[in-house]
Structure 1
Amino acid sequence: MNKRTDIIKKIKLAALVLIVGLTACNKYLNVVPDDGMATIETAFNLRSTAIRYLGTCYSYMTEEGASQYDPALLGGDELWDLVGRKITNTSGRVPSNMFQIARGLQNATTVYGNDWADMYQGIRCCDILVENIDDVPDMQEWEKKQWKAEVKFLKAYYHFNLIRKWGPIPIIRESLPIDATVEEVRVFRDPIDECFDFVIELLDEAIPDLPLENASVDEYGRVNQAIAAALKARVMVYAASPLFNNNVDQASLIDSRGVQLFAQGKSETEQLKRWENAVEACKTAIDLAEQANKKLYQYDNSYRVNDTLFLDFTLRGMMCQRWNEEIIWGNTQTNWTQLSMWQRLTVPNLQYKSLGWKESLSCYAFIGVPLKIAEQFYTRNGLPLNFDKDRQGVNELSLREGDAAHAYYIEQGYITAQLNFDREPRFYAFLGFDGGKWVGALTNYNDLQPGDIFTVENRMGKALAKSSGESGPVTGYYAKKMYPYRNRMSADNSALSTYWYPWPMIRLADLYLLYAEAINEAEGPTGPRSAEMFKYINAVRERAAIPDVKTSWDVHSTSPGRYNTKAGMREIIHRERLNELAFESQRFWDLRRWKEASLEYSKNIYGFRVLSFTPEEYYKKLLIAEQPFAQRDYFWPIQTATLERNPNLLQNLGW
């Protein structure tokens, strides 16, 4: 069953279901059957049926946050799966097919993450709505314009999703008619700059006819101006990034017409123009987001908590708090059943002192966070470990006992690694680790004391130790950030109730950091907009309770003034994105567009010796997997069967 059929049969219309009020699968399928054509006239006879077709256009949305569809979740180096877990126990609940990309097993015969056909089907659906919506008699002109704008946005996004995977793709300005000839169907790939320009053109057409924000909660998930402008900003930053902008590694990608798909020999002025355009797009998107009342999230004070827990709830809530004020675009298409199962099966089986957690779908914990990701987060001084003056000469794997100063982060008296002490608040909010505190699964959060909070205990002989080849821990670290504190255990600890939230496609902090990056690349850290650059990156750091960039580097680092060069500031901005947006399906794409994936993957996957009983043995670095990444891996292969059907398509290099 392909994803398209699966979507229709399960009626995954997200927020649009609330608008339409669908009650039966057959009623929907009668309007838009699997072939998408048999009742096309009927679909646009009335608004009540046309809106279902609009829902079909949305139903092709990518499913970030779903392990079987999102390559940025298990396909990179940020999360690591338990190799060899059995299908009967876990793979059927949380599929691991994308993990094959992470392991270097991508191939042109069976392409993992292959939504090439789905995206083009979605594009065709969008074109059909644009062509037919004017025929609907009981709709006002403003609404027809809005729906056209929504599907233009979707068409732009579907093209962009193809571009970030395959690079140059065939642009579909207008879908071909059903009776198109064989030669008309055998299209060529278009040059990468034309691909990006077409996406930007569509978004520019869509934005004026979209509402600034959604009129009601029922319409969350539908496109508005703030979302479209934010996507345009992201697209323009990608277009300016090294993977796409004058990529000399792709010089030999020339098709049978003699068309070079990646422009070569661009002048510095031409390359910078892309960044300058990105600067303007990012600023426009920020302005629109703020007009739509978006702001950096702060915990809503639902419970009485101290400053440390307030910050913890803020840093986790910015991702997991449903429709919080920072979420510009939340993805309602992702199957919540699978997300709920992900939460149950990828976190440790939390224990509270002598009380056991009896939840039957728990304690597999087969997804781990590599050691290099834990090392990536800043110190309490807002610096990488190797640049902080306080960490010079420190053995990060030496042992240290939890103390009162870290009581809400680490169990007092518990022996863990020095690496886990004196880190930035995002480290503690985003990661679970041996001896670490984990706020969650409680029935009440008022006036919490350290002893009220769960403690993760991973070592053998401890409550959360590895119990079989089917269970974790894998590396010794868990992605706590993805797990809402609002999840609840029943009174007898027998069942877990998971909290739904839309996967954050774009939130305001992401925009802030894209803007800072674009300014630095366009004019460096001392240009006319440098104050803006520091303003927005520092806003993200301030919310994370770490010093501003200049204070961190001038007062606490071994490299004062590092931010004064474009290369130094680039490192700082990149690290800020990796930390702030960890586990949000961004690192996978960022490392590629920066052309830094080969370097990062060469660091391989390490963890701790999780089969050890003593801390002395547990806290030794262990190689879990060597992670291959070749030049060809920056882009997906086009499936062999697709090339056989259309020989005009040129395969990507190396495949």
Structure 2
Amino acid sequence: MKYNIVTICLLTFTVLFTGCNFLDIVPDNTVEVGSLFENRDKALNALSTCYRYMPNYEKMHQSMSLAGDEWVGRLDADYAGGRGWNRGIKLMRGWNNSNDPILNYWAGGGGAESLYEGIRVCNIFFQNIENVPDLTPREREDWIAQVKVLKAYYHYYLIRLYGPIVIVDKNLEPYSSVEEVRQERQTVDSCFNYVLGLIDEVIEGGNLAIQRDASFMGQVDLQIAKAIKAEVLLTRASPLFNGNIEFYSNFKGEHGELLFPINYEKEKWKDALDGIEEAIAEAESNGKKLYVYDGQPRFWDVDNFKESEIIQYCYNNRFSIIESWNDEVIWGYSGLDFTGQGGFAHATNMRSVADPTTAGYAWQWLGADFRMVERYYSKNGVPIDEDITYDYENRFELTTIPDDNYHKGYMQPGERTVKLHLDREPRFYAWLCVDRCVWRTHDVANDVKMRYNEFPGGRGAHHNTDFYWTGVGVKKLVHPESGTGHWARVVKFPYPIIRLADLYLMYAEAYNEYNGPGQPAYDALNKVRRRAGLRDVEAVWSDAEVVRNVGKHLTQEGLRDIIRTERSIELSFEGKRFFDVSRWKEGSRFFTLPARGWNTTGVDPEQFYNLMTLQQRTWQTPRDYLMPIPLWDLNRNPNLVQNPGW
């Protein structure tokens, strides 16, 4: 059946209370939807439109990636009253509400598009794709499979944000009754089962391409589908969604049904373990492996590669993120707008020229919370407060950077810094930018100087608006060949949504939760640690000359803490932290602490290296584990119930 585009938009408005902008490929409001599928080229545009609703991963003001405790945004200070800036951080400051939700993926608004719009676009695609005359059967089946996975992913993303959701299996007809339109939220288990059912249908159908060639990287293939399924299963098994009687024992639907399962089911971890194992096997069978840099070093690093103890590992980790479509990336988001000003690659890029009028697209707007400086391991591969060889109590004391092979190429010998910046693991130096470190940009290895009126890196009269508010930058999302002054000088790469290291860490977590400590969990952890230049987990945690808590890895609780810390480091600044801490039910532990940083107005080491509280953060349990349903939607649909606390 063909429907006029106006009819479809009115129906969508009735059900979802949102606007009519989701079919942007429609020339005007009189075109029938069927005309969008007249031939293969138009159908390909429709397929692309289904992808357009992917959550925004790399725009600082529109991304959930800023939620959590990793980032601090300088614009959040200058525009303290503006809800449109650094929205993810605004969530952590308690700014959200049900009248005008921030990052409103439910109905659209507050910097986000409605994922329900995306789901309904997917359904329109299913209704019409069979009518395309010049599409081969193989293409048709593959495209349908892709869109089914997208539809599943959009439902899953909503579950992570809102818990129990309305499942939209099919679009309603224009003549649907009011009762049919006023749909209810389904139980969390029903929602997860629906998502998993869609993905299983695709996997078992065998119509999805095993992997994509270079021209279609990022489009859903079999290894992506299995990786998404693995993450869904892990989330379903996690404490927030599995037997959460503490938060949701009285959270009921309109007709009295419990929306969250209150009985813990250990077998959900077994399901997760099996799904993750299948995803890893699929990825590895298609040549996926942890990235190891095997190219030529930059010309300024030729000597460093001969002498430095850590540079190979730093290159491994730096390029694992920014080397386009490398062997580790399973699913990447390539729809990045590098011509705009709000992308992470621009917002975190360090200015390599002093004149602010010629330093565009290197804004220094986003920096790391000081807790990220402390979260990374010591050079022994354990937390700095657990390493008995690390002078933790005196970590804020000033010292001189040694001219040794461990710090060679990453810290400036002879300069003054705090002990905290020395003898840290390679990922610390690869991904963080601290005072007196080295930042590699196009044709230059910059000696970073973060103190007031210093350059490059510092705050000062000549650049008093663009600076790292905490005195700590983030290198991770900036390609070392990126320059400044023009968007074309910022090297583009796909934002990693799921990479192989993530799957290995998922496996370690699921194995420990189901079986307790064991060699399979250690092996998965060690793959990630070895690439980072760290000792095996069972070796270092058995070493009484290094660790304070010998044998920590031998208990389920101890290994759980090790795995969670490893995830928080390896996947830092990749948009994982907020969702991980939430599903672990650890929000009140981590998300109530204020954002801190160095004194960026300090002109010398004694003044600069003073910790400042920059911003208060807040977290209300259980309210903030789930986003609010927009009040307008609740008023229009009496069958919807609000999330607890909102």
TM-score normalised over the length of structure 2: 0.89
Residue 236 in structure 1 maps to residue 217 in structure 2: no
Change (3 A) 1:234 1:84: closer
- How many residues get paired? 605
1:349 to 1:7, Cα distance in 2 relative to 1, 3 A: farther
1:49 Cα deviation from its structure 2 partner? 1.6
- In the alignment, structure 1 residue 287 sits paired with structure 2 residue 284: no
Question: CA 1:322–1:95 in 2, change beyond 3 Å: closer, same or farther?
Answer: farther
* Aligned match of 2:6: none
Match of 1:227 in 2: 224
Structure-1 residue corresponding to 2:319:
317
Structure 2 equivalent of residue 481 of structure 1? 476
Q: Deviation string for 1:140-191 (max 9, x for gaps)?
A: 2222221111111011001011100000001122221122122111011000
Native 8 Å contact 1:187 1:649 kept in 2: yes
Q: CA deviation at 1:104?
A: 1.3
Q: Is the 8 A contact 1:438 1:453 kept in 2?
A: yes
User: TM-score scaled by structure 1?
Assistant: 0.88
- The Cα offsets for residues 355-392 of structure 1, whole Å up to 9 and x where unpaired, read as 87863326642322111111000000000011101125
Q: CA RMSD in A?
A: 2.5
1:159 has 2:155 as partner: yes
Contact 2:59 / 2:342 at 8 angstroms: preserved in 1? no
Aligned to 1:606: 596
Equivalent residue of 1:439, what SS? strand
Q: Which runs of 5+ in 2 are unaligned?
A: 1-16, 108-113
CA deviations on 1:68-122 (whole Å, 9 max, x unpaired) are 32112x222110112555579xx99x94233311221111111111021321111
Aligned residue runs from structure 1 range 372-521, under 5 A? 372-392=371-391, 394-405=393-404, 406-442=407-443, 453-463=445-455, 464-467=457-460, 470-488=465-483, 497-521=489-513
Q: How do 1:616-631 residues align onto structure 2 when only pairs under 5 Å count?
A: 616-631=606-621
Task: Tell me which residue corresponds to 1:343.
Answer: 345
- Distance in 2 (alpha carbons) for counterparts of 1:393 and 1:284: 41
Aligned residue for 1:509, secondary structure, equals: helix
Q: For residues 494 and 244 of structure 1, do their structure 2 counterparts lie closer, same or farther at Cα, with a shift above 3 Å needed?
A: closer
Distance in 2 between residues matched to 1:56 and 1:154, nearest whole Å = 11
Unmatched runs of 5 consecutive residues or more in structure 1: 10-27, 443-451
Within 1, Cα distance between the matches of 2:587 and 2:458? 32
Instruction: Specify the code of the residue in structure 2 equivalent to 1:439.
Output: R
Is the alpha carbon distance of 1:225 and 1:368 closer, same or farther for their aligned partners in structure 2, counting shifts above 3 Å?
Answer: same
1:42–1:284 Cα change, 3 Å: same
* Corresponding letter in the other structure for 1:160: Y
**1:55 and 2:54 equivalent?**
no
After superposition, where does 1:234-383 map in structure 2 within 5 Å?
234-248=231-245, 249-264=247-262, 266-267=263-264, 271-303=265-297, 305=302, 306=305, 308-338=310-340, 342-350=344-352, 359-361=358-360, 364-383=363-382
2:537 aligned partner, one-letter code: V
Check if 1:531 corresponds to 2:519: yes
CA contact (8 A) 1:85 1:470 kept: no
For residues 566 and 76 of structure 2, what CA distance do their matches in structure 1 show?
Answer: 34
1:564 CA displacement: 0.6
Residue pair 2:317, 2:532 contacting (<8 A) in 1 also: yes
The CA distance in 1 between the partners of 2:36 and 2:322, in whole Å, is 37
Does 2:638 correspond to 1:647? yes
Aligned-partner SS, 1:288? helix
**Aligned pair in 2 of structure 1 residues 540, 342: CA closer, same or farther (>3 Å)?**
closer
Q: Is the 8 A contact 1:475 1:608 kept in 2?
A: yes
Who is 1:447 aligned against? none
CA–CA distance in structure 1, aligned partners of residues 261 and 497 of structure 2: 30
Contact 1:432 1:478 in 2 (8 A): yes
Give the C-alpha shift of residue 235 in structure 1.
0.4
Counterpart residue number, 1:547: 535
Matches within 5 A, 1:75-224: 75-82=67-74, 95-117=85-107, 118-207=114-203, 208-214=206-212, 216-224=213-221
1:338/1:232 Cα in 2 relative to 1: closer, same or farther (>3 Å)? farther
Separation in 1, partners of 2:640, 2:536: 49
Q: What is the CA–CA distance in structure 1 between the aligned matches of 2:210 and 2:224, rounded to whole Å?
A: 9
Q: Give the Cα–Cα distance (whole angstroms) in 2 for the partners of residues 653 and 162 of structure 1.
A: 16
SS in 2 for 1:481: coil
Greater than 6 Å deviation, 4+ residue runs:
2-8, 355-358, 493-496
Give distance in 2, aligned partners of 1:455 and 1:496: 24
| Aligned equivalents of 1:7, 1:614: Cα separation in 2 | 54
Q: Contact between 1:170 and 1:190, CA under 8 Å: does it hold in 2? A: yes
Amino acid at match of 1:649: L
